[in-house]
Amino acid sequence: MAILLTLPLLMGSVPYASYGYGTINDEVFPSLAGAAPVRLITGADLGVGALRNPRDFRFGKDGLIYLADTGNHRILVLDGDLSVLRVIDGFDRDGVRETFSSPEGVFARADGTLYIADTQNGRIVVLDKDGSLLTLMDQVQLTGSTLTFRPQKLGVDGAGRVYVVAGGSTEGLIQLTDEGEFVRFFGSNRVRPNPIEIIYRLFLTRTQRQSREQFVPTEYSNLHIDDIDLVYTTTRNVREGQLKRLNALGDDILLRGDTGSRAVFGDLMLTPRNMSRTAQFMSVCLDADENIYALDNATGKVFVYDKTGYMKFMFGGKGDQMGLFADPHAVAEKDGTIYVLDAGRGTVTQFRLTEFGEKVLLANRLFLQGDFEESLEPWTEVARMDAGYEQAWYMIGNAYFGRKDYAAAMEYFELGYARGSYSRAFGELRDDWLRDNFAILFILAAVGLIGLAVYVNVRRRQKAGRGKAA
Partner 1 sequence: MITTARFAFYVLFHPIDGFWELKYHKEKTFGAANLILALLCLMNVASMQFASFHYGILDRESNNILLNISSFVLPLLAWTVLNWALSTLLDGKATMKQIWVQSVYSLVPLLLSMPVLLVMSYVMTLSEYPFYALIQTLAVLWCVFLFLFGNMTIQDYTMSKTIAMAFFTFLGIAATIFIGIILFSTFQQLISFVSTVITEIRYMP
Nearer Cβ to partner 1, position 324 or 425? 425
Which of 76, 75, 77 has the alpha carbon at shortest distance from 100? 75
Specify the DSSP element, H or E, that contains 447: helix 438-469
3-state per-residue secondary structure call for 286-299 = ECCCCCEEEEECCC
Question: Minimum CB separation from partner 1 for residue 418, in Å?
Answer: 9
Nearer Cβ to partner 1, position 8 or 260? 260
Question: Minimum CB separation from partner 1 for residue 450, in Å?
Answer: 24
Nearer Cβ to partner 1, position 24 or 191? 24
Residue 282 burial (CB count, 10 A): 23
Nearer Cβ to partner 1, position 239 or 419? 419
Give the footprint of partner 1 on residues 130-159 (CB under 8 A).
none
Question: Minimum CB separation from partner 1 for residue 456, in Å?
Answer: 20
404 binds partner 1 (CB under 8 A): no
Residues in contact with 307: Cβ distance below 8 Å, sequence separation at least 6, in sequence order: 255, 289, 290, 291, 292, 368
> How many residues bind to partner 1 according to rule CB under 8 A?
15
Give the footprint of partner 1 on residues 10-29 (CB under 8 A).
23-25
- On whether the CB atoms of residues 188 and 171 are closer than 8 A, the answer is yes
Question: Minimum CB separation from partner 1 for residue 11, in Å?
Answer: 26
Question: Minimum CB separation from partner 1 for residue 351, in Å?
Answer: 34
Beta-bridge partner residues of 118: 123
Question: Minimum CB separation from partner 1 for residue 263, in Å?
Answer: 17
- On whether the CB atoms of residues 422 and 414 are closer than 8 A, the answer is yes
Give the footprint of partner 1 on residues 414-433 (CB under 8 A).
414, 417, 419-420, 422-424, 426-427, 430
- On whether the CB atoms of residues 334 and 80 are closer than 8 A, the answer is yes
One-letter amino acid at 254 equals L
Binding mask 371-400 for partner 1 (x = CB under 8 A): ------------------------------
Angle at the Cα of 345 from the Cα atoms of 357 and 114, rounded to 5 degrees: 80
User: Phi then psi for 72, rounded to 5 degrees?
Assistant: -95, 5
Question: Which residues here bind partner 1, judged by CB under 8 A?
Answer: 23-25, 410, 413-414, 417, 419-420, 422-424, 426-427, 430
